[in-house]
Amino acid sequence: MGQKTNCEGGMTSMFDTGKSALLSADGKYRYTLDRVWGAGKPVVFVGLNPSTADAEVDDPTIRRMIGFAKRWGFPGVTVVNLFAVRLTYPAGLLDVEEPIGPNNDEVLADAAGKAGLVVVCWGNHGVFEDRCGEVAKILPPAKCFGLTLLKQPAHPLYLPHTTQLEDWNPNEAKD
């Protein structure tokens, strides 16, 4: 079972063997989710917003990301998001006063700096509040699973496990 410890900025970190999650003190925001099974630099996946996964529980998207990372030979994953607020449905972003989260840009930059590979995968809603454009300024060159019809990085959940990565060009995004 995970342990909760207080971190700087009023955030809570939950640790388990090979599993951790960095949450705001009130649990409203999840900044990072880590799954580690070896030594070395992880794949950093940049999604839209966190759902139900935490230090103890994986959701289907996290399990999918782990599967991709293992097939690619990486020792772990770090999951960060454009918006740190924890929601089950992306439409809920419209109802939240501060969906990005007070520490999210710093966390994104830190995670990307420690990555063996950065994969952007937030689906169509990344254009909300021009968040994809803002985050593109923070990230190093990244890969994606392909683009949606709106030219946003495809979400991994329903993609075949054989899906190949391609270079991500943030200038291709449409509003």
Instruction: Mention every residue, 6+ apart, whose C-beta is less than 8 A from residue 90.
Output: 48, 49, 123, 125
Radius of gyration of the chain (CA): 15
The 10s digit of each residue's pLDDT in 41-93 is 999 999 999 988 999 999 999 999 999 999 999 999 999 999 999 999 999 99
Q: Which helix (H) or strand (E) holds 33?
A: strand 30-36
Predicted model pTM:
0.90
User: 174 falls in which pLDDT band (50, 70, 90)?
Assistant: low
pLDDT at 172: 82
pLDDT at 113 over 50: yes
Which residues does 125 contact at the CB level (< 8 Å), separation at least 6?
Answer: 48, 90, 93, 152
Closest CA to 60 of 88, 92, 82, 85: 88
